[in-house]
Amino acid sequence: MHHVNHFYGHAAILGAWCGLTDPQPRVRGYLQHGWNIGDGWELHARIEGHDPLLVWSEQTRRRAWSLGRRNVFVLGAPWAYLLRMTPEEPAPRAGTVFYPFHGWEKQEVLGDHRRLVDTIRAVETEPVTICLHWNEYTAPRVRDVYERAGFEVVCHGRRGWGRRDGDPDFLHRQLATLRRHRRVASNRLSTAVLYGITAGCEPAVYGDPMTLDGEDQTMGGAERVRRQWAPLHGEQVDLPTARAIAHDELGLAHLASPAELRALLGWPEPPGTAAPPGLAARPTTAGARPATPVATVREAA
């Protein structure tokens, strides 16, 4: 099982949806762990064997197919399952949570954080919470810039690496943070912005997009994102349009039932429960639609 399946507690969320008690269930396949503009994985990623490739959305499935991936299934983002399992309690919202573009374990982000602070101050009219990736949160040269500007600075936790040091409550903490805020914003369109939209926030994408050290532009980079997802960019965006885009990108229409997901991921059925006919061997084809509100898992035809 690939270790990225545990990033952000994804496997645990899917396991909870299926009624499992194992905090780290083994996932048969390769699970997309973040929104991206390619086939669901890092550029040039080597995926070996014949296990299913599990992507969030139909558009990602199509891109994966066009790039030569096979055995690709759409099941929606784990975040979408978390939303369904965590009803929102009515509560007032205030302020903006801003997610600066971040680096990761192998690449640092390059940009002027002080300049971004000035931009945020010029745009936002309510209190601002800055949420940093753990790389920047543990780097005083970055974190101090935002704290000295008077912003509250938080971190949702570590996603983990090699099945170690991950925080299974990462997305639970992120959902709670988003539901406290009226707006979600970033200097690049990102997973966090899409999550925020589906969590009820008004989105914005503005400011210096920054770059990654040695950023690969094979798929078009930040310029392509700004062109293709132009309606999500700006200090104010059209909310119905943003919600429709986020709904599609996170695959909210493609959530699998617990029985379907157990069959696809190789998890045992509860006693006395039969798997949907044929699903254990081959999930429903791309053209199928169920009569119930929960969409079936879809495979590339």
Domains belonging to the chain, first-starting first, are 3-33+36-76+256-299 (no CATH), 96-249 (3.40.50)
The pLDDT value recorded for residue 39 is 82
Quick count: other Cβ atoms within 10 Å of Cβ 129?
17
State phi, psi for 247 to the nearest 5 degrees: -60, -45
- pLDDT given for residue 271 in this prediction: 54
**pLDDT of res. 164:** 61
Helix (H, G, I), strand (E, B) or coil at 223: helix
pLDDT per residue of the chain (301 residues) written in tens, 0 to 9: 577 888 899 999 999 999 998 888 888 888 999 998 888 876 666 666 667 899 999 999 999 888 888 889 999 999 999 999 999 988 899 999 999 997 666 667 778 999 999 999 999 999 999 999 988 888 888 999 999 999 999 999 987 655 566 678 999 999 999 999 999 999 999 999 999 999 999 999 999 988 876 666 676 678 899 999 999 999 999 999 999 999 999 999 999 999 999 999 989 876 555 444 433 333 332 333 222 223 334 444 4
pLDDT at 29: 86
Question: What pLDDT was estimated at residue 287?
Answer: 32
Show the beta-strand stretches assigned E in 87-163: 96-99, 109-110, 128-131, 152-154
Structure tokens at 83: 């939303």
93 three-class SS: coil
- Hunting for tokens 């119905």 — which residue is that? 240
CA proximity to 221, closest of 196, 188, 250, 197? 188
Are 123 and 235 in contact, with CB atoms under 8 Å apart? yes
The confidence score (pLDDT) of residue 111 equals 84
Beta strands in 165-290 (DSSP E): 183-186, 202-205, 211-212
Question: For position 115, what pLDDT does the model report?
Answer: 96
